Structure formats: C-alpha cells, structure tokens
Structure 1
C-alpha cells in the first residue's frame, strides 16, 4: 500500500481523487447523508453474511440444502432489497443529472446497480429447487424472478451510456438471465419427467407389476443374504425408458419382464448391481460395498417418496421390503462382518441415513444435485458456460454497435476498476480513511462489492464441487457403469469414479448423530436446539434397534417399554403405565439422569465395540437414547405419536414443577449433585407418606430412586435394563401415527432429517406398526423378479 501511495502520489491525487469525489459526493450531501451511510452499512453486513454463509457453513459437510431458518431470514431480507435499492438508485441517478442533462450515471449509482446485479445472482442460493409434479410454488416464483431480471435489464441498458460500462453491467445481467432460464428449464423438465416429477405414479405401477410377475416364480435358490438381494428387481434408475400406456389404474408396462431380463437394458435394478458386485472380474463394486448400498438407498428413497406424496404402499410391498431389509441386507452384513469390518446394524443405518438424505435434498435442495448425471454435467457445466461466454462477447459487441475493436478497448477504458485495478485503487484510498469519512465509506462500498464478487465466485465453484461429490451423481455413475459394458472396460472412467470416491471419503461424515438434552443440566438452552451438544448414535444402539424391529410380530408387538420390564423388572412396570409416550419418555429420562448422576461413568474408559453387554456400552445406549428422547419432546413434539399440544403440555408442566420444586436459585444455578439430592428427597417424601406420584416429575423421581436402589453394589444389570427399555421406547415412537405425523416428518427434512425419521422410514418400508406388524410375514418369502 505504501508503494502505491508514494510512487503514484501524483496519479492518486488527480485520477483517484476525482473517482473518490464522484463516489462519495452523496455522503457529503446533507440531504442524503443518513440513507446513504445506512445503505452502505446494511449492504456491508449483508455481503459479509453471504460470504460467511458460503464459506464457513461448508466446512462441516458437503450438502445441497440450507438451514430453513437462515433461508427464511435471507428471503425476508431480500424481499425488500430490490425496492429499496431501486429507490436509492433513482436518487443517485437524479443527483447525476442535477446540473443539467445527464451524460452518464454517477459512480454511486453504478455501485448500487452493481450490488443489485450481484445480489440477484446470489439470491438463488436461498431459493429451493422444486421438481415435484405438483409444483408447490407453481409459476409465481418464476414470474417474480423474471420480473426482477427484466427490471434490472431496463436499468442497465436504458441508463448506462458508455459502451464499456454498458458491456460490463450487461455481462452480469446476461449471466443472471441465463441462470434464470436454466433454472426454469430444469424445473419444468423435471416436473414433466417420469424420472423426477412423475416418478411416483410410474413407480407405483412398476411395483405392482413387478410383485405380480415375481409371485409366480418358483423358489429355487436361497432366500437369505446376498442371494435375496441379487434377485431384487427394485428399480434404481432407468424406469422412465420403459414402454408404458396410461390406464384407469395407472400405467401398463407392457415390456417390463423383457426389459428386466435383458443384460444391456437401461433399467438398472438392485439385483443387477448386486450381481455385478459379486462378480470376481469387477473390482470397483466388489472392493467398496458402500456403492451398492448407496444404490439400494436410492431405490428405497423412490419407494418412500411415494408415501410422502399420498401414494399408498401395499401390504405385498411391505412384506417384500421386510424380507429384503431384514433377511437380505442385515443377514448379508452379519455374514460379511469379518470380511469388510462392518458390524451388525451399521450397513442398515448407512442405507437408511442415505435414503433420508436423498429425501432432504430432493425436497429442499438449493443446488441442482437432483439432476446429477453425466448428461447434466455435460450440459450444465460444459455447454452452458460456453453459451454464457458467447452471449457475453455478443453483448460487448452489440453495446458498441458492432465495432469489435472499439468494443474491447472501451470495455477496459470505460471501467476504472478494470483499467486501474482494485488493489491500486485501495492503496490510494486507505491512507486517508482515518481523517476523511468519505474515503472511509468509499472503502466500505468497495469492500461490499468485493465480498459479493467473492461470494458469487465461491458459490459457483462450490456448486460444482457439491454436484461432483453428491450421492446423486455417484448413483448415476454406478448405474451407467452397471448398464454399459463400455464403462466397465474403460480404465479412464473407472479411475474417475475411484478418484471421486477418494475425495468423498475425506469429506463425508457417515455417522448418524442425535441431539442431546438433559433436564437436569440444560435448562437455559430451550431457545435454540443449535446450542445443544451432538452425539453419534452408539453402534450398540443401532444393533439393538435393528434386532428389536426385526423381531416385531403378533407375539412380540412394540410397546412403550413394558415388554422389557416384564422380562426383568416387573415391579417397575408402573413407570410405563401411561397413554402418553411423552410422559413415558420424560419419566424414564429423569430416572436415567438420576442413575447416571449417582453412578458416573469411569474416567478415561472407552466402550468396546464388540462387547455389547458391557456396562459402559449399555450406559452409552441408555444415555444417548434418553437424552435424544428428551430432545424430541422439547423441540420436535410433532414427530412423536401423541398429539403435539398434549406433548407440549407434558413438557411444560414437568419443567414448571421442576422449577417450583427446586426454587429459582436451585433450578438455574445449582449443580447436578444438588438436583439429584432434591429429587431423591421428593421421592423419599412421597414414599414415606405412601402417596403415589401423580405427575411426570414425581414418577421420574420415584423411578430414579428405584433404579439407584437396584444399582447398589452392582450397576451392570440396571444399565442393561435401562438400555433395553430405551430401545423399546424409541422403536415404539418410530411408526407412523397419523397423516399429520407423516407431514411432520416431511417438514423435518428441511433441517436435514432426524434419527427418528430414519427409524420411521424403516418401519414404513417394512409395514411395522405399534400394535405389531401391519402385514404378517409369509411363510415363504416373496420373489423379487
């Protein structure tokens, strides 16, 4: 900076001072000083928010969705942006022509116009890409977007005079208009495509026909493990290529059986991928079993999406899914546990978690990952930039009336920041910011423009990265690899897939995590769930939940914890005698927290993954599920089986009683030990008076005292009991209770999904209900062909 200021002082004193004067003249005008300063400050905050949102929010995960709270805030803020900035632009434009006829817009007016164009390009980051056939927003969003683009085009081409300035701003406008057209075309094609918007209708007909054809085949092979998966004809991709004819009961797929038998068919099924992965000649799928599981997740995502869009799941399909998941996937994993290092339950929840992520991105994506495929990569990231560059060159030429040489000379000569350079300009201005307010706000305005440009560049690069590393693109590559022998024989294409996998492995976070809330130590964080700690679901919890849901039958239906108590501690069954699952959760949560406070975990002792019956592992399962259950009651009551208002009432009354019983100072300031003593005193007082606990807090205190008494001398059996009860309670809360329950799970996808949604997906696929299975598993497993 010193070099620029000293070596070019004469240049700075003449050219730059004139530029600074033009840019900051509005600040020295007492009539417009306040709104201009406020505008610069607000724009700086907005630009910094966009920059941080693009940069720091991406370090933790590779995702195509945005937090709905952030999206709502930005949408609300930007809704007033164009009218306010248009007014300020008009004021700056009038100031430009105050002394007579205007020959060119002032620097201030051009700066505001630049902000308007850059914010319009960044606005799409907070707008969801909807490709459902219903089109929740209809055409209103596209019309509003087109109106904004048309208005900006009017401001650019009607108000700018010099060819170079009009070309620079025209290029940005062309880019914004091209992005709008690209988004509109993608959405409309997606809505009309049988691979996206119309897929539920087609897939319902496909599943009906597939199960009818499969039921007649004789059972000549094994019906367990990988053999069951190899015979599974659940479609992954390509069903839109089938010959179809619309009928009164859906689509008639006249060539389905023939298409499934063909090896080179474009219809890729789970069975084809599993067979290829079992082929000794194929090294890609055989080496990494996660690829075939990802394709299974995609097939299940398509099936579950029908449920969210009011297409029923038949009982035959539920039986089929039950066998595919529990007799196919789970038993294959158990058989390969020593081969690939995975434990029981890990593969199942990996498949289900990926399925829920597909749902999240399909309904709430702000980037076009839903269309990820080699063809879309070619058109969107190779052909589209070429077209934009051609239109930009055409804009430069048209702005100079066809004089090519003059067009490119004026592009640099008429734009001061391009010809001089932003760094040299900043070097001339920075030394004066401490003594001159106009120079200070000039730096603010230049910083705003720079941050917006950086955020735009980063967003374009990140969109490309997310596209390449997305699960959607990987599934599309694997399906092309499966259906096209040329891909399998090409070392280059196989190498590309392996390198993408290598990058994905270093950026992915495969663990399923849950929020943790404790009523004994976390009272003041009710305002935001983002402040709560997060913990990976213990592997033993996954194993236990998988085993419990697999064993659901008429003889062993799901319960709110009573079945676990009947086997080991019948005297505690009163703790589950409630029609409210929220009350049972809070009762056992308080009891578990009291037990954990009385018998803390040994320091520096890590759980052994293979020792499922150890005290440490049972404690981890009980504590993780207990605190997650309390979190659901406090923050997501709509995801539980009870009515939402009833769950809120139970939680509110429990908190109020806890605050009243401990006093204000004890509730907010006392430690965990003090709260434990107070709850023990409450339980002992009721026991001495022979009064049954009438409230959730009273039941929780009594249960905690009973668990502590049982753990005297040896706490391992107690923690085993607690872990089994919590496994039963969480499994009981998973199945669908009503259509409002289904709607709540769909809305929860905007936040990235919850672990309870993963379990809900499993119970929906397999037909598991709270009173037992919806459909009894047949004696002979159904065929999948």
Structure 2
C-alpha cells in the first residue's frame, strides 16, 4: 500500500533514484498501520470501559449503597480494582514521547526497515488525567470503618489507592520525560519545556494526585482518632459499663422507694439518662466488664455542654427551635443506636431489663395510640445510624469537630478542579483540532536499508480526539457528582443534626438570647429532611404461592430463573399505614395481656394468642398446631389468605344498585394489612429465609416445593379472573379449593385450602375473617422478628433494611429478645424486666 501525502523532509540522500529505490513496501506500511491502529483503539476501548465502570462504582457507591453489598456488584468492584493497575500501565506505556515502531523486512526484500516516530501533546495529558480521575472517583466510594473489634472487622484507610496514585505519578513523570514534569513546578512558559499549553496541562495532570494524597491522609487521621474515641470506636464498651452502673443505681433507688412501677404507668418525664454525645469529654477508666466514667455519680447535676444524656434533652421546655418532638426523637434514635451497637458487639448481658428504659420506651412510644409513624420513624433513623457506622466513612469524620469542615473544603477543592479542568479541556481540544487536526497520535515514518536512509518521510494520524474528550468529561462529571454527594451527606446527615441539637439545646440561656437569630436559623435547618440520607425506602417485598397469571416457564424470564435458580418473582410496594397500625395494635395487645408481676411476659406466639382473643378465631387454632414448623404455618395461612383474597363475596362489596357500599375503614384496613403481611412473609421465605427461625435452606425449599406443586395442580385446571380485587366466580372458587385439596401432594396446600374454605364460609362474615387474618399475621411477624443471628440483620441493614429488621430492633428495645419456642412456655419474653 502506497502511503498518502508524502512529505519530503530533504537532506540525507538527495539522489532521486535511491529515493525511489527506498520507497516503503506496501505490506510494511499496512503492518505498521495495523499495529498502531490496534494499539490506539485498544487504549480507547479501555478508556471508555473504565469510564463506564467508574460510573457504575460512583452510582452504586454514592446513591445505591444498598446494592453495594450484593454479590454481583461486589464482583464488579473487585474486578475494577484488580484490573486498574494493569490497564493504566498498558495505556500509559504507549504514550512515551519517543515511541518508535520498527517493521523489519525479510532478506529477499533487501532488508528494508520501516522506522516511525509517533508523538502527541493532548493525548498524554488526557490519559494521565483520566488515570487520576478514576482513582478520585474510587476514593469517594471507599468506606473507612472504625468500630470495636467485637462488632466485626475494621476497615482501614485505602492505602492501595495511595499506591496506585504513586505508581500513576511515576508513570506520568517517566513517560513525559521533562516536558510535563518540569511544567508542574513552573508558573510561566519556558522555551526549553514547552509553552502555555504544556504548562497548564502539567497542572491539570498532576493536581488530582495532590487531592488524592490529602483525602487519604484525612481518612487516615480520622480513622486513627475515631478508633480511639469513646464516642465512636470504643463506644460499645463504654455504653455497656455505663448501663451496668445505671442498673446498680436503679436497683438502689427501687429498694429505697419500695419497687418499680408497672408499664401501665407511663410517664414521659421518666426518660432514662442514655448517652447521646460527649463521651470523650469525661475521664474514663477500665473495668472488668467495660469502661465507666470516673465521675458517673455526679453526672445528673452537671450542666456543662460536654456530656449530653437523653433525659437532659427531654427536659427542654420546647421553646427552643431545636426542642421539637421530631428532633428529640432523632436524639432518641441516636441513643438507641448506641445500645444496639452493644448488641452487635455481643455484650450478651446488656441490661435490656433496665426498668426506667423499658418503661420509657413502652410509655413514651409503644402504648400511645396513633403514634405508629413515630415509632417506626425512630427505629428507621436508628438503623440509618447503624448503616452509617458499619458501611460508610461518615462517622469517623466526627472524631473531631473540625474534620467535617476540612472534608467539605477538600470536596469543594475537588469540585473546583473539575470545573477548571473541564474548561481547559474544551479550550485545548479546540486548539488541537485547529492546529493538529482531530487525531490522537501523529506518526512520521520512513524506510531505510542498511546504511542508506531515504530523505522522504510520510505522516499518518491515528485515533479520534473525541475518545480523549468524552471519557474525560464523563469522569469529571462523576467526580463532581461524588463530591457533591459527600458535601450534602455532611450537611444533611443526622449525625450533624444530633451534634447541633445537643450543642444548641444544652447551651446556657444567656448564650441563646445573645444569638437568637442564629438559633432560629439552626432550628430551620434542622427541620429540613433529605430523603437521600434515608437508607430504608419503606418498601416491602411481595411474593405469592398462588399467582393468578404466573410467568410461563418458556419465556426468557422463566428460563433464566430456572437456569440460575433465582428466587420467586417479587415486587416492592410501599408499606401501607394499615400494616403499621395492625402491628402496633398487636404489640399493645400483647403488653396489655401481660399479667406477670415478677417479669414481663409478653403474649406473642405463632398466632395462637390473637386467635384466642375472639370466639370465631378459636375455630382456626388447628392451623397453628404446635407440632408444625413456623414456615409450614406461614405457608398454610398464606394459601388461605390468597383464597380469601381471590374470593370476595359480592354481597359484601356491592349494594343492590351495583355501586360500592359505604363500608367503615376498619374492614378494608384489615384486608390490606393481612394480604400485605401474608405476601411479605412469603417473600421472606423466598428471598430472605435466613431472617426466619428455621434453617434457611429448609424454609426456602419448602416454599419452592409448595409453589411448584401449586403450579402443577392449577396448570390448565383453572384460569383466574384477574388479579385481586377481581372477584372469583363461585364455580372457579370451588374448583380452586377442590384442586388444592385433592390434587396437591403438599400438606401445606391441602391445609391452606381447608383453612381458606373455612374463612370464606365463616358465619360471622368477611369482615370478621379479615380481622382474624390481620391479627394473626401481625402477631406472626412479631413472633419471628426476635433473633440472636446478628449477622443476617446486619447484612439486611447493608442492603437498605427490611421491615422485619425494624421490628427486630424495636422488640429489642422493648425488652423482647427471644422468639416463641426459645422459652419453655412458648412466649417471647424479656429477660427479667419488671414492668
């Protein structure tokens, strides 16, 4: 192939015949074109792939953290981190200022060799900047966790990113020789080391390295301080020791005043002195069971700002803008979070039987009608603190009061750099396009034979400028997004709000009067809620054994599900208020039915207790046989609930005019609660069986077997009229019950059909049937929530949280720490608490 546009460079051999003789062979030129083309396109492909991978990392790490701990995304993170150094080393190694490519010819061609000299200014600047930007984006997704060794594994600063940064800096400095490296330390152009473009490119290339080093140092310093802090790293041991001493004080007071009060005497003023902030402001000494304050006996009379306890915040008169119930509850969530950390640290003898704590929790929260939203919000905020503590770098930044400000400052510097770099990228790209064209690399090549060299050379351009600019802009935007998210996380963080609440509310009254405007501004700021910081999306999964329109096994989704053994189909729905009300009513009923005076005996069983409260419900006790497992009972009642949901008698839904009857809200609320909790329990068996009492493999296989049997029985035998609330005709209802009763091989399907038919034919009517089901499912979800398997709930919190995890934490603070069946009497109990 004859190269185009020969450019004579004159000089070495002026004989025209010799020049003609040394014309480059076509196959040598083709080989050179192919080699350089493959090299530049491979580099471009890696640039684009790394930009896409970085987008996934930033998106998941910053905005979808619940997906950060799934297996697939963990594999993506591991692959991106493992392949980064080889990719960078390969791409950067092709950018040397004097990268020559020789294609040697064979002897029969006269020993002709093709020599090429390739060079570029804009391309190396962009590629090296790209390498540093990838590391900046990766740094924003890394979590540094400084916790007690009993809670799990600490996660230290990302030193591997520092190593990668140093290696990239070395590659950049070595391949550019003195051209860019000297420009880094100059403020004016130099004839020896390039002009203004080279000078500014040097700053753009190496400035991210300084930011990376500063951020890693900040994370290291914060981690070191947080690990030694009694407010952060060593907090569980201090809280445990503090609660032990509080228990001794409480026992002494009980002896002096004739014993504790009952739970029914709920007084908000009896707020326990739980630790909120300021643990590092007190002298601490080590004890066999943990750490204690050396001046713990005088803390009740202390009025300084340092140590703040919950009762001190609760005594605020409400006149301050930061004394609203919502902000007080946030401090309550923070104090409860510290108790839950003790549970995760496996302080098994944590005094959950603290009379004042349990009494306050029941009296101030659980026994108040209409406060279901408040109760779940307090626990959801608590689990948000748990998520931040174990899965983000946010808590360590509060080891010192100035660390969040420094973190915000570095993020603002990074954002400013991205803006400046984007501007100069556009300017330099336009300049390069005008002067040099839109290629990434330009090569001058010529041929030689032995000692003879042609005086004529040719030029070839490779690549396209857009492959430098596009990944660069993508990475700059991603880094900006990550940094903006970091800044907003500090501003909107509940950690910041708790610190401000305690500082403002516990300041002296004179200081409040002096800075009244500032206090009002702080109060307005604290009222602002940012949904981005809420890790639980208030949604629950829904699955069902009886599906009106199942996905055919021959479809792509069905084939993939069978191939990879995926769980059952699911959908996420917002938790209805009816579900929350029903659960809280069941918990209050369990407390009101307690008759024990020596220890709190909450009557939470596997649904039997709720059935025994009504005359009609007692006829269904056979479906809660103590000889059956919890999973079997769940599936039996789930099938029955589905049957009742499909079969809604027309007399209860329409009047003689055909219009919807004006029913009271209660029956509809019972139906909503029962159907949603039924499908949520089925979802737990299919997707999260580890959160249920029995062996997870057994529970999941039981669900899958029952579903497969139901699909086999119903295949071709019945066609549902449609998804609920469409009613099922009488003939189809009878056929459904007959097929499940006679055609199924699984006992839970037979029992479910029997129970469903009994519910449909209940003499008291549909409203009573739904009330029975709502009470049963509320008690069932409460009875399976307590657990000593801390790892599964920690993993659930990492994924964003589950309703059952919220209930697990709620029951723990209420003093209920065991499931029915864990105790001899079959009821969930709190260990020795007096209420």
How far apart are 1:106 and its partner, in Å?
A: 5.4
CA distance in structure 1 between the aligned counterparts of 2:570 and 2:672, rounded to whole angstroms: 21
Question: What is the deviation of 1:558?
Answer: 1.7
Task: Tell me the matched-pair count.
Answer: 705
Q: Aligned to 1:31, which of 19, 31, 35? A: 35
TM-score w.r.t. the length of structure 2 is 0.74
Matches within 5 A, 1:334-353: 334=369, 343-353=370-380
The answer for the alignment partner of 1:357 in structure 2 is 384
Distance in 2 of aligned mates of 1:731 and 1:772: 10
| 1:576 equivalent in structure 2 | 624
What is the CA–CA distance in structure 2 between the aligned matches of 1:126 and 1:675, rounded to whole Å?
Answer: 55
Q: CA deviation at 1:347?
A: 1.6
Contact 2:606/2:780 (8 A) holds in 1: yes
Partner of 2:774: 723
Check the 8 A contact 2:388/2:395 in 1, yes or no.
no
1:655 corresponds, among 687, 691, 707, to 707
My pick for the range that moved more, 649-658 or 565-574, is 565-574
> Offset of 1:41 from its aligned partner?
4.0
Cα contact 2:92–2:128 (8 A) shared by 1:
yes
Partner SS for 2:543: coil
Q: How does 1:67-466 map to 2 (within 5 A)?
A: 67-69=68-70, 70-93=73-96, 96-98=99-101, 107-134=122-149, 142-160=158-176, 161-162=179-180, 163=183, 164=199, 165-217=201-253, 227-276=267-316, 279=317, 282-286=319-323, 288-315=324-351, 317=353, 319-331=355-367, 333-334=368-369, 343-365=370-392, 367=394, 371=398, 374-382=401-409, 384=410, 417-418=424-425, 420-421=427-428, 441-466=464-489
Contact 1:637 1:644 in 2 (8 A): yes
Structure 1 match to 2:6: none
Q: Alpha carbons of 1:743 and 1:558: their partners in 2 closer, same or farther (altered >3 Å)?
A: same
Partner of 1:473: 496
2:738 is aligned with 1:684: yes
In 1: Cα distance, 2:352 partner to 2:280 partner = 23
Are the aligned partners of 1:368 and 1:467 in contact in 2 as well (CA < 8 Å)?
no
SS in 2 for 1:240: helix
Q: For structure 2, which runs of at least 5 residues remain unmatched after alignment?
A: 1-28, 103-114, 184-198, 441-459, 552-556, 821-826
Alignment RMSD, CA only? 4.3
Give the Cα–Cα distance (whole angstroms) in 2 for the partners of residues 202 and 75 of structure 1.
Answer: 36
Q: Following TM superposition, by how much is the alpha carbon of 1:523 offset from its aligned partner in structure 2, in angstroms? A: 5.0
CA contact (8 A) 1:592 1:623 kept: yes
Instruction: Rate the CA distance shift 1:213–1:676 in 2: closer, same or farther, 3 A.
Output: farther
After TM superposition, give the deviation of residue 229 of structure 1 in Å: 4.7
Aligned to 1:763: 811
Task: Tell me if structure 1 keeps the 8 A contact 2:222–2:396.
Answer: no
Whether 2:608 is the aligned partner of 1:562: answer yes
Q: SS state of the match for residue 323, structure 1?
A: helix
Say whether residues 1:516 and 2:542 are aligned partners: yes
Name the structure with the higher helix share.
1
Indicate the SS of the match to 2:331. Answer: helix
CA contact (8 A) 1:594 1:676 kept: no
**In the alignment, what sits opposite 1:638?**
690
1:534 aligns with 2:573: yes
Query: In structure 2, what is the Cα distance between the partners aligned to 1:346 and 1:507?
Result: 19
Alpha-carbon distance, 1:583 to partner: 1.8
Distance apart, 1:755 and its partner CA: 0.8
| Matches of 2:38 and 2:402, distance apart in 1 | 52
Q: 1:246 to 1:618 in 2, by over 3 A?
A: same
CA deviation digits over 1:575-633, x for unaligned, max 9?
2225322222222112112211112996998999xx7x711111111112111111111
Match of 1:488 in 2: 512
Cα distance in 2 between the residues matched to 1:272 and 1:660: 63
Tell me the secondary structure at the aligned position of residue 801 of structure 2: coil
Q: Distance in 1 between matches of 2:309 and 2:171?
A: 53
CA distance change for structure 1 residues 29 and 552 in 2, over 3 Å: closer, same or farther?
Answer: farther
Aligned-pair CA distance for 1:66: 5.5
- Cα distance in 2 for residues equivalent to 1:103 and 1:40: 17
8 A contact 1:229–1:270 mirrored in 2: no
How many angstroms apart in 1 are the aligned matches of 2:265 and 2:433?
67
- Report the Cα distance in structure 2 between the residues aligned to 1:283 and 1:643, rounded to whole angstroms: 52
Q: CA deviation at 1:191?
A: 1.5
Deviation at 1:470, TM superposition (A): 1.3
Shift of 1:171: 0.7
**Structure 1: gaps spanning 5 or more residues:** 1-24, 335-342, 393-410, 780-785
Question: What corresponds to 2:109 in structure 1?
Answer: none
The answer for the alignment partner of 1:595 in structure 2 is: 644
> What residue is the counterpart of 2:108 in the other structure?
none
Compared CA separation, residues 677 and 146, structure 1 to 2 (3 A): farther
Counterpart contact for 2:97–2:118, Cα < 8 Å: no
Structure 1 range deviating more: 212-221 or 565-574: 212-221
Aligned to 1:339: none
User: Match of 2:35, SS?
Assistant: coil
Q: Which residue of 2 aligns with 1:772?
A: 828
Shift of the alpha carbon at 1:472?
A: 1.1
- What is aligned with 2:523? 498
Deviation at 1:359, TM superposition (A): 0.8
DSSP 3-state at the match of 1:263? coil
**Alignment check: 8 A CA contact 1:131 1:196 kept:** yes
| SS of the residue 1:753 aligns to | coil
Task: From the superposition, tell whether residues 142 and 508 of structure 1 become closer, same or farther in structure 2 (CA, over 3 Å).
Answer: closer
**Residues 1:620 and 2:672 aligned together:** yes
Contact map agreement 1:201 1:250 (CA 8 A) in 2: yes
Match for residue 408 of structure 1? none
Residues 373-405 of structure 1: per-residue CA shift (max 9 Å, x gap): 8533333224x5799999x9xxxxxxxxxxxxx
SS in 1 for 2:473: helix
Q: Distance in 2 between matches of 1:427 and 1:651?
A: 67
Tell me if the contact between 2:611 and 2:621 (Cα under 8 Å) persists in the aligned partners.
Answer: yes
Task: Name which of structure 1's ranges 637-646 and 551-560 shifts more when overlaid on structure 2.
Answer: 551-560
CA-CA distance at 1:152 after TM superposition: 1.6
Shift of 1:147: 1.8
Please state how far the C-alpha of 1:675 moved relative to its aligned partner.
12
* Counterparts of 2:90 and 2:662, CA distance in 1: 63
Task: Flag the 1:368–1:71 CA change in 2: closer, same or farther, 3 A.
Answer: farther
Contact 2:709–2:744 (Cα < 8 Å) also in 1: no
For the 8 Å contact 1:132–1:196, the answer to whether it is kept is: yes
Aligned position for 1:705: 757
Comparing 532-541 and 262-271, the one that deviates more: 532-541
- Give the direction of change, closer, same or farther, for the CA distance of 1:178–1:685 in structure 2 (3 Å limit): closer
The verdict on how the C-alpha distance between 1:676 and 1:585 changes in structure 2, with shifts beyond 3 A counting, is farther
**1:314 Cα shift?**
3.4
SS of equivalent to 2:620: helix
For residues 547 and 495 of structure 1, the distance between their equivalents in structure 2, rounded to whole angstroms, comes to 38
Match of 1:750 among 788, 791, 798: 798
Q: Which has the larger radius of gyration?
A: 2
2 CA distance for matches of 1:329 and 1:776? 21
Shift of 1:719: 0.6
Three-state SS of the structure 2 residue aligned to 1:752 is coil
SS of the residue 2:96 aligns to: helix
Shift in Å, 1:327: 1.8
Structure 1 residues 245 and 576, CA, compared in 2 at 3 Å: closer, same or farther?
same
